[in-house]
Amino acid sequence: MSVQHEPPGYDCPFCRLLRGVETAHNTLADVVWRDELTCAFVAPKWWSGNDGHAIVIPVEHVENVYAIEPGLLGAVYGTAQRVATAMRAAYGCPGTSMRQHNEPASGQDVWHFHVHVFPRWAGDRLYARDEEIRWTTPDERAPYAEKLRAALNAETKD
């Protein structure tokens, strides 16, 4: 069952980034991983106290979990696992969480399947603070992207 919410002519911001088109919200410097099926980048919106979280997407435009093929879903979560592991090493966080939304009622606001990977600290109250979200600048994201990219590169060399 395919459920679509993207409007006709939707200009997907994640697909723009995959094509190399930069905006105030997404730059190529934010990208920390890309292979033929998936891409990961430091998110442009941050929850207070969980700076530097990442988003993992399929390279193919797929709107939500209802439409994604199982093999591609596995590839996205494989990359999310890789990012979570690298995030612990890069940021020194003692844990990570993943979050994925489908349809407006769940909070999905970009019509391209994506998984959030958050650095976590005890007592950070991530899920209690959805109202504390803010847009960041490329300069704010840069050190997180550098650390995460370096950790991912080190992992692939092992």
**How does DSSP classify residue 7?**
P
Q: Give the percent of the chain with pLDDT over 90.
A: 81
| CA 117 – CA 136 distance, rounded (Å) | 17
1 pLDDT more than 70: no
Ranges of each domain in the chain: 13-157
11 pLDDT more than 80: yes
Sheet of 38-42: strand order equals 31-34, 38-42, 54-58, 115-120, 95-99
Closest of 33, 70, 14, 46 to residue 155, by C-alpha? 33
- Pairing, β 133-135 against β 95-99: unpaired
115 touches 96 (CB < 8 A) = no
Q: What is the CATH number of domain 13-157?
A: 3.30.428.10
2 pLDDT more than 90: no
pTM of the model: 0.93
Tens-place pLDDT, residues 39-95: 999 999 998 889 999 999 999 999 999 999 999 999 999 999 999 999 999 999 999
Tens-place pLDDT, residues 102-111: 999 998 999 9
Tens-place pLDDT, residues 18-30: 999 999 899 999 9
